[in-house]
């Protein structure tokens, strides 16, 4: 338990429950609890239920029965009777007044939470605060808190352990709360003799319990009656705040709650209440292990922070460019956690006058499309059977130099021929044959409005593109002449970015297959992504024009940055990989919740997600490359620059 005395004094009232959290989480959650306490008001015992009994000496009073008169006053009656009578007439006698102890009212508090789709995400943080608030309220009434889910009438749980609170955060359903559910709960509570929580221990009489409905605003709870109270939460779309309404018989009040900082909010959503102690730059991270360390840098150049890492197909290695002027790429292997193999590093170089505009990686072998000088002369660097070519005025290929991202590129080869697929700055997809014939153009445009490109096998790729108001997905190969595919979801004006996730097809020789697709559907005021994903063992693309797919819409928290997409892993949907607004935390965001993967002590400057494995590579401002498993946050590989400040290039 975090030291309770470290809490600010205004939060001491709830320290029995806030002590389950790290201090930073306790302070953040405690602020929400305090604001809800101001909204709900103090606990008031009901007349006829709050009995008292004497308990020891309280104070002295000038009125009272004479059997409680002070002994010194009786001495005056014996020694100075006239003074005794005068003091009696002047009401100057002093009487003992016993202390009165309030007897417990033994009144139960029942909290019923809406765990449906209208309360997923940020409102769940307010549910945590309401749980702590009502646990304290029940204690003040001499009882204990019993809680349940509105959509599960009759199922009550205890509130004695942090595991009970964590259970609330993992309780969710895709069914909205209804009046039928609430009526069922009323029937259960009114007919209740003694409650029984999920441990089977007897509880309290619930027939006269104070019942709190906690969830989305609904008209049938606008004017509660009797012992019912209502707390409703709704996320604002224009700012990271919750609109909160409290209703009780004869009283309604409203306020707003600011949301906790993104990293803390993600941990609360995951019910990650305690942070294990760690060392190094991974302090405060959730991942398992410390990962295999890359060999010392030695004579290799420092890692650049200008571009994101590049994963190989299959995620077995990762590439980071060296600092400007080194003309070098740094390639690291990513051994599996169970293998005893060390991290390998290679540092291939290209010519000083060449400028890479797109990178690819196969194992520990890198390849790139390189522009030679300022001319429209391009060549393949370490691309097999790819001849140099000069682009003419009619060859449309738009490249903006100095951009912070490599051009999307996939290399294809079938043992005899090779080719490159590239998406230029105007979203035009071009096919570059390795050895064009004498009359062939150096490249040909085969698709437009392409917003994502991913390699699948050595001879095939996938492209996401916009066509006729739809987000479409199509296969590409060595013989592709024109991009064509099937519509996956409606397109919006903001559909300028898409993400793909692949899954190995174990029934066809381990070749990957498309498993999930995400397209941004709105940028402001709240960034929104539409997702679709296939069932296990199935692919996104089938012969049917409209595959039977699962779908979800995710709203990205304010300030967070989406970096990738992965297939479902113990979740209700495919998951976006996002960097928190603090730029030091990474989480999985699905339709059910935001689950933190890890956090680090230095700012994340660049990041990339492997489409096939879901591995996450981050570059920190301290020039540390960390590769982790995107499913559980396990550290797989760490490479760190040991360099002086004079060696460092300016960070973006």
Query: What was the pLDDT predicted at 546?
Result: 52
Q: What integer is the mean pLDDT of 247-265? A: 86
The confidence band for 544, taking pLDDT boundaries of 50, 70 and 90, is very low
Query: What was the pLDDT predicted at 106?
Result: 57
Query: What was the pLDDT predicted at 512?
Result: 84
How do residues 98-152 score in pLDDT, each as one tens digit? 776 555 455 689 999 999 888 888 899 999 999 999 999 988 888 889 999 999 9
Q: What integer is the mean pLDDT of 65-89? A: 84
Helices and strands per DSSP (H, E), number in the chain: 8, 40
Query: What was the pLDDT predicted at 644?
Result: 41
The count of residues in the chain is 652
Query: What was the pLDDT predicted at 284?
Result: 38
How do residues 382-437 score in pLDDT, each as one tens digit? 887 788 888 877 778 887 766 667 899 999 988 788 899 999 989 999 999 888 87
The confidence band for 529, taking pLDDT boundaries of 50, 70 and 90, is very high
Q: Which two tokens stand for residue 569?
A: 């892993």
Cβ neighbours, 10 Å, residue 262: 24
Contact 410, 360 (CB under 8 A): yes
Q: What integer is the mean pLDDT of 546-572? A: 84
188-197, 515-524, 577-586: least confident range:
188-197
Helix axes 23-40, 123-140, angle to 10 degrees: 70
How do residues 167-204 score in pLDDT, each as one tens digit? 898 888 878 899 999 999 998 888 754 444 554 444 55
Contact 596, 286 (CB under 8 A): yes
User: In whole angstroms, what is the distance from residue 270 CA to residue 125 CA?
Assistant: 10
* Cross-strand bridge partners of residue 562: 578
Q: What integer is the mean pLDDT of 63-71? A: 82
């Amino acid at each position: 338990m975090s030291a309770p005395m470290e809490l600010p004094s205004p939060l001491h009232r709830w320290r029995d429950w806030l002590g389950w959290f790290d201090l930073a989480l306790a302070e953040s959650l405690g602020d929400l609890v305090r604001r809800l306490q101001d909204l709900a008001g103090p606990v008031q015992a009901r007349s006829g239920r709050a009995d008292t009994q004497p308990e020891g000496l309280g104070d002295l009073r000038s009125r009272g029965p004479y059997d409680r008169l002070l002994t010194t006053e009786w001495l005056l009656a014996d020694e100075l009777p006239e003074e005794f009578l005068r003091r009696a007439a002047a009401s100057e006698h002093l009487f003992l007044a016993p202390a009165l102890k309030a007897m417990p009212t033994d009144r139960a508090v029942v909290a019923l939470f809406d765990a449906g789709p209208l309360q997923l995400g940020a409102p769940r943080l307010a549910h945590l605060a309401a749980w702590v608030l009502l646990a304290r309220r029940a204690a003040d009434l001499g009882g204990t808190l019993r809680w349940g889910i509105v959509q599960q009438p009759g199922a009550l749980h205890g509130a004695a352990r942090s595991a009970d609170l964590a259970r609330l955060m993992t309780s969710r359903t895709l069914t909205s709360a209804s009046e039928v559910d609430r009526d069922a709960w009323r029937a259960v509570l009114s007919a209740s003799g003694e409650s029984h929580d999920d441990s089977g221990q007897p509880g309290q009489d619930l027939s006269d319990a104070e019942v709190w409905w906690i969830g989305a605003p609904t008209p049938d709870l606008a004017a509660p009656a009797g012992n019912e109270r209502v707390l409703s939460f709704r996320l604002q779309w224009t700012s990271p705040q919750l609109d909160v309404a409290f209703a009780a018989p004869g009283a309604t009040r409203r306020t707003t709650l600011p949301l906790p900082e993104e990293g803390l909010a993600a941990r609360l959503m995951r019910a990650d209440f305690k942070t294990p102690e760690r060392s190094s730059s991974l302090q405060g991270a959730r991942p398992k292990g410390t990962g295999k360390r890359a060999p010392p840098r030695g004579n290799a150049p420092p890692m650049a922070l200008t571009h994101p890492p590049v994963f190989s197909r299959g995620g077995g290695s990762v590439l980071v460019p060296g600092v400007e002027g080194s003309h070098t790429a740094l390639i690291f292997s990513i051994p599996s956690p169970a293998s005893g193999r060390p991290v390998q590093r290679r540092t291939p170089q290209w010519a000083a006058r060449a400028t890479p505009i797109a990178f690819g990686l196969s194992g520990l072998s890198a390849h790139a499309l390189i522009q030679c000088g300022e001319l429209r002369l391009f060549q393949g660097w370490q691309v097999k059977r790819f001849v140099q070519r000069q682009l003419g005025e009619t060859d449309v290929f738009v490249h903006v130099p100095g951009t912070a991202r490599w051009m999307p590129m996939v290399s294809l080869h079938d043992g005899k021929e090779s080719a490159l697929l590239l998406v230029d700055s105007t979203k035009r997809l071009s096919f570059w044959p390795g050895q064009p014939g004498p009359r062939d153009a150096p490249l040909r445009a085969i698709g437009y409005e392409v917003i994502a490109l991913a390699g699948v096998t050595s001879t095939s790729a996938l492209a996401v593109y916009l066509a006729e108001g739809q987000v479409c997905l199509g296969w590409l190969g060595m013989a592709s002449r024109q991009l064509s595919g099937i519509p996956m979801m409606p397109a919006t004006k903001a559909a300028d970015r898409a993400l793909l996730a692949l899954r190995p097809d174990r029934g066809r020789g381990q070749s990957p297959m498309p498993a999930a697709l995400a397209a941004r559907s709105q940028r402001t005021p709240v960034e929104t992504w539409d997702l679709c994903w296939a069932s296990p063992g199935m692919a996104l693309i089938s012969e049917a024009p409209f595959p039977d797919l699962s779908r979800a819409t995710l709203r990205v928290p304010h300030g967070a940055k989406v970096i990738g997409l992965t297939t479902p892993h113990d979740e209700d949907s495919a998951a976006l990989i996002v960097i928190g607004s603090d730029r030091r935390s990474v989480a999985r965001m699905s339709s059910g919740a935001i689950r933190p993967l890890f956090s680090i002590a230095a700012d994340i400057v660049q990041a990339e997600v492997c489409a096939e494995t879901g591995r996450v590579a981050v570059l920190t401002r301290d020039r540390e490359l960390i590769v982790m498993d995107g499913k559980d946050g396990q550290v797989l590989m760490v490479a760190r620059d040991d360099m002086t400040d004079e060696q460092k290039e300016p960070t973006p």
